[in-house]
């Protein structure tokens, strides 16, 4: 029964994210699901249990420049986004940070616009939790002559107020991947 559900979910995501080349996210055909279980206690005292599924996916977006041109501007893009680099591998054209401990914003944008860590009532956990994020971009050649930016964002969040060491999974909203692509494309056009 889970297999048809996963196939249906993948098909719906693919339909919802279909776009022109370079204009939106490309859905990985085999996403990695993370199932979260929650419980709600009703006013009558009964408990309702529910499951949600977060999907971590690498997002591939196209830019017009060559691999070397796109690679040359990526460090500037990461610096403008205030993402400190812990990985910069010219041979594989991979750049990013695999253990960034942060709170509240990426650059000047509230982090909840870029990652979903669930919510506690009316507030997004990403607004108040301590996050550990991995944000990595690799540049590869595109068959159409440009290049692809393959960005993978994963992470966890922990409530700094409680003494609990429990962490929640954080998944990308795909907005940061789009912003990275847009900033790279703008830099390529400006050259």
pLDDT at 75: 95
Could you give the 3-state DSSP secondary structure of residue 111?
A: helix
pLDDT at 161: 82
The one-character DSSP state at 18 is -
The CATH number of 56-190 is: 3.30.530
| Model pTM score | 0.69
pLDDT at 25: 42
Q: How far apart are CA 121 and CA 159, in angstroms?
A: 14
Domain boundaries, the chain: 56-190
* Spans of the chain, pLDDT less than 50: 1-35, 51, 53
Q: How far apart are CA 9 and CA 49, in angstroms?
A: 21
Angular region, 107: left φ>0, alpha ψ -120 to 50, beta rest: left
Beta bridge partners of 48: 40
H or E stretch including 8? helix 2-16
DSSP string, 42-95: -TTS-EEEEEEEEEE-EEEEEESS-HHHHHHHHHHHHHHTT---SEEETTTTEE
pLDDT at 41: 66
pLDDT at 32: 37
- If we measure between CA atoms, which residue out of 157, 142, 172 comes closest to residue 61? 142
Q: What is the pLDDT of residues 94-121, one digit of tens each?
A: 999 999 998 889 989 999 999 998 887 7
């Amino acid at each position: 029964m889970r297999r048809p559900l996963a196939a249906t979910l993948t098909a719906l995501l693919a339909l919802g994210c279909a776009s022109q080349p370079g204009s939106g996210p490309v859905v990985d055909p085999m996403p990695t699901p993370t199932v979260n279980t929650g419980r709600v206690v009703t006013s009558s005292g009964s408990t309702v249990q529910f499951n949600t599924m977060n999907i971590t996916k690498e997002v591939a977006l196209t830019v017009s420049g060559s691999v070397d041109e796109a690679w040359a501007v990526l460090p500037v893009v990461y610096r403008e986004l205030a993402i400190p680099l812990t990985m910069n591998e010219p041979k594989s054209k991979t750049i990013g940070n695999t253990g960034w401990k942060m709170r509240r914003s990426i650059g000047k944008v509230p982090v909840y616009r870029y990652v979903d860590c669930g919510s506690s009532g009316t507030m997004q956990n990403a607004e108040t939790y301590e996050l550990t994020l991995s944000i990595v971009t690799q540049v590869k050649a595109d068959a159409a002559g440009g290049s692809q930016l393959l960005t993978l964002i994963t992470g966890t969040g922990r409530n700094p107020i409680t003494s609990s060491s429990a962490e929640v999974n954080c998944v990308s909203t795909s907005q940061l991947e789009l912003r990275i692509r847009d900033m790279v494309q703008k830099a390529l056009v400006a050259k």
